[in-house]
Structure 1
Amino acid sequence: MSFSRKIVPLLITLTIFILYTGCKSTEEFSGYSYDPEGVTETTDKEIEEQNRRTIGFREDGVWISNEFSGSRVNDVVRVAPYHYELQIRPEISPINNSPWYGFQVWADDSSSVTLELTYTGGRHRYRPDISFDGGESWNKADSTIYRQNRENSSGIISLEVGESPVWISAQVPQTTKEFRQWSDKIALRPFVQRSVAGSSHRGRPIYQLKISEHSDEPVKGVILIYGRQHPPEIPGYLTGLFFIEELVSDSELAQQFRKYFDVWAFPLMNPDGADNGHWRTNAAGIDLNRDWQYFNQPETAAVQRAALPLLNRSDRKVFYAIDFHSTGQTVFYPILEEIDTFPHLFTYRWLDAIRDQLPDLEVNVEPFPTDSPIAKNWSHKTFGVDAVTFEVWDNLPNEELQQLGAESAQLFMTMMIEEFKKEFK
């Protein structure tokens, strides 16, 4: 065979690989309608660091603090006696409207205080979660203490405070500390391996959970799971954790599933943003779910490095990928039906099963093309598989998050086992 006949197929293979693994294509995606300009320019940007401090108003004897992990308040202004404006700014501007806040408030003596949450570059979105016992238990603020001022897009909280700090947060905080505690328990199972896929900008570990139980099958399927690319999207993140808990459970279904499938999960991809109270981005001001083409950021690059070896393994075949998020509704963002995927139209069939199983839960669907540099699309382009962005409503109660995570996982396992048997049996 001549040299040219040998080299041409090689060049074709390399070209396909490059296109699939994230180098430049001829059509550039510039962002969704709700994205700020330049969102897909994913080289490092300068962010605004919040000043960690406790601000006191001695005339009232009231104190407000952001000196803890996962907090965010940039400044506090006294409007009137016992009435304070808490000014909250994003880490970078412009930015998507996911305005995270978190703080503690207390007083020298029992006092009625009014706290007005105002935003630069955003508007109030999250109904506050409040803890009166040091973060042990949390409840959504009701109409007796909270209202939204739609005229200036602020949130107003009026409540009694005393010597013990009251914790107030956009969502129940979930920092790297809570994730480590959760993953410590998961990693006790003999078939779960926790490793470090890489480090964030600030040196925090990007953990990978590899769920792999011994099996006599010559080939096993692999499910990829991503989570918490956007720090405030905790309901979706928790749904992902409940989903994983079901996959590693002792149920007969889970044991059968693990006979045929491994799971490679990256549940907390943005630890810097989680601990620093970011609205959207990592420590370099980048929306990680727009960096799945060039992989400029260490967090996405770590996941890419960890997952790419699956392309060369004869004993493993990627079957599916799930990316957990939160938004103003519970919604599946699948790949367009007309795009060929494996397993064929799995997301749509899985969604139908979830709707049948949970008829009281409204789950919407909005298909998208594969032109954007997001995790779902990279998974499809790299491995040829179906994938979904699994978005959970911001205000879905915790017990419903748990139900959604567990029951969607049960349906998923049942259907995936069927797909495996169609492929290999």
Structure 2
Amino acid sequence: MFISSNFDSGNIEVIAAEQPDAIRLRIRADHQSDFFQWFHFKLYSQADVEHRLVIEGVDKAAYPDGWKGYQAMASYDREHWFRVPTEFDGENLLITHAPEQETVYYAYFVPYSYERHQDLLQAAQQSSWVEQRLLGQTLDGRDMTLLVVGEPSPEKLNIWITARQHPGESMAEWFVEGLLHRLLDDDDGVARLLLQKATFFIVPNMNPDGSARGHLRTNAKGVNLNREWQTPSMEKSPEVYLVRQAMVDSGVDMFLDIHGDEAIPYNFVAGCEGNPGYDERLEQLENAFKNALLAATPEFQVEHGYERSAPGEANLTVGSANVGETFNCLSFTVEMPFKDNDGIPNLETGWSDIRSQQFGYDTLAAIHAVADQLR
């Protein structure tokens, strides 16, 4: 029996792995940070034997409430992922599973590999609508890549979408893949009409270093990018610095920052009601978008989510708040669950890569519904 995590986005430390019923593991914290929750590893062992994998000390993870009701994900082929029986005892996470094959992968959520990220960029570039721009380099020397979809012009709207500021929230890039699939479909009426009105600026992965390193929340220097938007720097947060400069160059009429939430088992959005510049126009735009997304998909809801910020008390280091205030535009953080959407549960997969893709696909209809109101 052997456990490996020496691969893209791998993360686990082995304490003991001599017996199938007594495997002890620990999650490695993000580099130069105390954040941890993401895990991704491969088990080599005997098939059809029940294994008990205890991940110890998860009560000290970034979001302990995220373990309540959580079921780990597993895959034999790294394409099709399913949930396996998982319990949280208040201190440790216990995964109980009898693998049907001699090797199996386990992960906190369906991984989105750096290789798939590269494939997504190159596949998008095959569309005549798409220009791939290199904004610069990360601290580990990876590319910060922007996809520009549509022909920019002063008359057109500038719609920005970023994903994976927090690298462990891999559902965010699955969302972008689904949105791009629809946006680049020449036979889709919503996409064709939108590209007549708007140019899309899409960053599928804001944190490629953290993604490859198996981090939950930070970049190569242990920095939470979604607290860097007020004063980003090339020394600490080049990812935000480069993207924000590109936003200044283009202007922003709408911004969606795509995330995942560890604890709340629903899809929801967080707006800019706490911004100093928030007014009736922005409130009406927010309500119009939420109503359009409710109409577009039953996977979205507005009953569960974060507490609303008090007027003038927004945290302007956060991406959506900062961009909304800087550009006086409609700006949301979009959150998806790590667990399941309890409004429409799926016991086999919970929330998944496929559902994340579909949510991104459906969100394009809500963008279309508010496009004419953005300016």
TM range (shorter): 0.7 to 0.9
Contact 1:106/1:161, CA 8 A, preserved across alignment: no
Provide the secondary structure at the position in 2 that maps to 1:194: strand
How far the C-alpha of 1:147 sits from its partner, in A, is: 2.3
Residues 214-233 of structure 1 mapped to structure 2, 5 A cutoff: 219-233=155-169
Contact 2:75/2:82, CA 8 A, preserved across alignment: yes
How far the C-alpha of 1:71 sits from its partner, in A, is: 0.8
Aligned CA-pair RMSD? 2.5
- Distance across 2 between alignment mates of 1:202 and 1:321: 27
Matched with 1:309 is 249
- Distance across 1 between alignment mates of 2:53 and 2:255: 42
Matched with 1:89 is 28
Q: Say whether residues 1:407 and 2:341 are aligned partners.
A: no
For structure 2, the 5+ residue unaligned runs are 340-350
Out of 259, 272, 282, the position equivalent to 1:325 is: 259
Residues 254-403 of structure 1 mapped to structure 2, 5 A cutoff: 254-296=191-233, 297-310=237-250, 318-327=252-261, 328=264, 329-336=266-273, 339-340=278-279, 345-359=284-298, 361-363=300-302, 364=304, 366=306, 367-368=308-309, 369-395=313-339, 396-403=351-358
Out of 53, 77, 87, the position equivalent to 1:148 is: 87
Q: 1:361 to 1:336 in 2, by over 3 A?
A: closer
Matched with 1:136 is 79
- Distance across 2 between alignment mates of 1:111 and 1:399: 29
1:130 partner letter: A
2:54 partner letter: E
Matched with 1:245 is 181
Contact 2:176/2:360, CA 8 A, preserved across alignment: yes
Out of 6, 10, 24, the position equivalent to 1:71 is: 10
Q: 1:239 to 1:410 in 2, by over 3 A?
A: same
How far the C-alpha of 1:302 sits from its partner, in A, is: 1.3
For structure 1, the 5+ residue unaligned runs are 1-61, 312-317
- Distance across 2 between alignment mates of 1:218 and 1:237: 29
How far the C-alpha of 1:289 sits from its partner, in A, is: 0.2
- Distance across 2 between alignment mates of 1:341 and 1:220: 24
Q: 1:83 to 1:93 in 2, by over 3 A?
A: same
How far the C-alpha of 1:341 sits from its partner, in A, is: 7.3
Provide the secondary structure at the position in 2 that maps to 1:160: coil
Q: For 1:293-339, what per-residue CA distance to the aligned partner results, in whole angstroms no more than 9, with x for missing partners?
A: 1103111111122222125xxxxxx3111100011231210111881
1:274 partner letter: S
When normalised by structure 1's length, the TM-score is: 0.74
* Residue identity (%): 21
Matched with 1:182 is 120
How far the C-alpha of 1:78 sits from its partner, in A, is: 4.0
Matched with 1:235 is 171
Q: 1:113 to 1:155 in 2, by over 3 A?
A: closer
2:114 partner letter: T
Q: Say whether residues 1:159 and 2:104 are aligned partners.
A: no
Contact 1:343/1:419, CA 8 A, preserved across alignment: no
Matched with 1:419 is 373
1:351 partner letter: K
User: Across the two proteins, how many residue pairs are aligned to each other?
Assistant: 344
Contact 1:107/1:161, CA 8 A, preserved across alignment: no
Provide the secondary structure at the position in 2 that maps to 1:85: strand
- Distance across 1 between alignment mates of 2:47 and 2:294: 51
Q: 1:248 to 1:63 in 2, by over 3 A?
A: same
